[in-house]
Amino acid sequence: MGRHMGGEENRRVGRRAVLIGGGAAAAGAAVLGWDELRHLWWRLPGTEKRRVEGELDHAGAEWTAAARANWRRADRPDDFGIDRVVIHVVQGSYATALRVFKNPGHGAATHYVVGKDGRVAQMIRELDVAFHAGNRAMNERSIGIEHEGFVDRPQDFTAAMYASSARLTAGICARYGIPVDREHIIGHVEVEGTDHTDPGPHWDWDRYMELVRRAAANPSPAPSASPTAGAARAGRREGAGGGSVGGA
Ligand SMILES: [Zn+2]
């Protein structure tokens, strides 16, 4: 079974994957391996992927939903391929980012928010289109990652934040076969037509890309997709954040 399948073959294999998933999981696993089953599931065309409340695409993230007005329901990577990761800096705190992305009047949100302490919030599923790049085509092809802090405060970009974000980006690249390079991992400032400057001159791209490459070479365990992972930490305090969120 080829890994790079055409449409018709993909459809056929997709149905087989459904049958395997429905009745003969153990036998299927023996033949294909779970990683390949997972791969096939993500590529399953013509069928909306199942959605489970609170499900995560990145292991270790906490789920906290963005307002419905700040993203568009989609079925990526089948309706739109994903080949870009867009790096943002929020111009505010982690709590501020969560608060404004939960505000339907904000009109923007990213899939993920990474804090200075390395914690990660997932606010939109990767299969959906987040409004974060200010460019429809880029939104449709990308995953957006917001980072706590201000573009003119290099001390905000902590080692914990870089490391955690790099693991997140490496996982995204692995899930969708995105090359780990600066053509595919870009700053908001590099999006065509944008007037945003984030992540700004103090974002250390050389350091970040090296961390992404290292994380890609040593992937962490596959996402558990556990609906309870976020809920377990739902009681986390949300402090009052300052600053205006212009990064989104
Ligand atoms: Zn931005």
Residue 248 Cα to ligand 1 middle (Å): 4
**Residue 103, in any domain of the structure:** yes
Q: Are residues 137 and 67 in the same domain?
A: yes
Ligand 1 mean position, distance from CA 102 (Å): 16
Angle at 33 between CA 76 and CA 43, to 5 degrees: 15
Check whether residue 132 and residue 17 sit in a common domain.
Answer: no
% helix, strand, coil for the chain, step of 5? 40, 10, 50
Ligand 1 centroid – CA 110 distance (Å)? 9
Compute the chain's Rg from CA coordinates. 18
Residues 31 and 76 in one domain: no
- Give the model confidence (pLDDT) of 228-240 as tens digits: 443 333 333 333 3
Domain that holds residue 186: 62-231
Number of domains in the chain: 2
- pLDDT value, residue 33: 56
Q: Are residues 108 and 217 in the same domain?
A: yes
Query: Which residues share a beta bridge with 187?
Result: 87
- 54 CA from centroid of ligand 1 (Å): 25
Please state, rounded to an integer, the average pLDDT across all residues of the chain: 79
Query: How many angstroms separate the alpha carbon of residue 177 from the centre of ligand 1?
Result: 24
Residue 180 covered by a domain: yes
pLDDT at residue 18 is higher than 50:
no
Q: For 117-147, write each residue's pLDDT tens digit.
A: 999 999 999 999 999 999 999 999 999 999 9
- For residue 219, the model assigns a pLDDT of 78
Q: Does 54 fall in a domain?
A: no
